[in-house]
Amino acid sequence: MNLIPLGRLYDFMGARRLFMAISLAAFFAALVGLFAPGLGLKLGTDFKGGTEVEVAFTGQVSSTEVENAVKASGFSHPDVIRVDDANNANHYIVRVQEVTTISPEKQAEVEKSLCAGDGQPAATCTPNRTATEVKFSPGGDKITVRFREAPDMAFIKAQIAGVGGLMLRPGANNPSLQSERDNKVEIQLMSKGDQLMAGLRDKLGADKVPAEPLRSEWIGPKAGAQLRDAALKAVLISIVFIMAYIAFRFDLRFAPGAVFALVHDAVTVLGFLVLVRREVNLTTVAAILTIVGYSINDTVIVYDRVRENLGRLRGRSFQSLVNLSVSEMLNRTLLASGTTIISLTGLFFFGTGTLKDFALTLIVGITLGTYSSIYVALPLTDWLDHTFFAKVGKGKKKIGQSRKAEAPAV
Residue 29 Cα distances to 33, 34, 274, 357, angstroms: 6, 9, 11, 22
Q: Determine which helix (DSSP H) or strand (DSSP E) holds 79, and give its type and residue range.
A: strand 79-82
178-191: per-residue pLDDT in tens? 888 888 999 888 88
Q: What is the pLDDT of residue 28?
A: 93
Q: DSSP assignment of 279-297, as one string?
A: EE-HHHHHHHHHHHHHHHH
User: What value does the CA radius of gyration of the chain take, rounded to a whole number of Å?
Assistant: 32
Of the pLDDT bands very low, low, confident and very high (cuts 50, 70, 90), residue 25 is: very high
The bridge status of strand 79-82 relative to strand 279-280 is unpaired
CB burial readout 148-160, b (16+ within 10 A) else e: eeebbeebbeebb
For the segment 305-313, the average pLDDT, to the nearest whole number, is 83
Nearest to 305 by CA among 287, 289, 325, 320: 325
Q: What is the pLDDT of residue 389?
A: 61
Dihedrals phi, psi of 43, to nearest 5 degrees: -75, 140
**Which domains does the chain show, CATH number per domain?**
13-42+220-389 (1.20.1640.10), 50-97+193-218 (3.30.70.3220), 104-190 (3.30.1360)
Q: In this predicted model, which residue has the larger pLDDT, 220 or 253?
A: 253
Which DSSP category does 385 fall into? I
Nearest to 188 by CA among 147, 153, 143: 143
Tell whether the model's pLDDT for residue 304 goes beyond 90: no
Tell whether the model's pLDDT for residue 126 goes beyond 50: yes
For the segment 358-378, the average pLDDT, to the nearest whole number, is 90
Taking the C-alpha atoms of residue 270 and residue 41, their distance in angstroms, rounded to an integer, is 8
Most confidently predicted of 20-24, 234-238, 255-259, 389-393: 20-24
For the segment 307-331, the average pLDDT, to the nearest whole number, is 83
Tell whether the model's pLDDT for residue 95 goes beyond 90: no
Q: What is the pLDDT of residue 401?
A: 42
For the chain, what percent of residues have pLDDT higher than 70? Answer: 89
Taking the C-alpha atoms of residue 251 and residue 43, their distance in angstroms, rounded to an integer, is 39
Nearest to 269 by CA among 356, 377, 368: 368
Question: Would you say how long the chain is, in residues?
Answer: 410
Handedness of CA 157, 145, 150, 190 (dihedral sign): positive
36-47: per-residue pLDDT in tens? 877 888 877 667
Q: Does the bond joining 175 to the residue before it have cis omega, within 30 degrees of 0?
A: yes
Q: What is the pLDDT of residue 221?
A: 58
Q: In this predicted model, which residue has the larger pLDDT, 2 or 164?
A: 164
Burial group, residue 102, by CB count within 10 angstroms (0-12, 13-18, 19+): buried
Q: In this predicted model, which residue has the larger pLDDT, 155 or 332?
A: 155
For the segment 327-351, the average pLDDT, to the nearest whole number, is 85
Is 373:261 a contact under the CB 8 Å cutoff?
A: yes
For the chain, what percent of residues have pLDDT higher than 90? Answer: 9
Considering the chain, what is the average pLDDT of its residues? 81
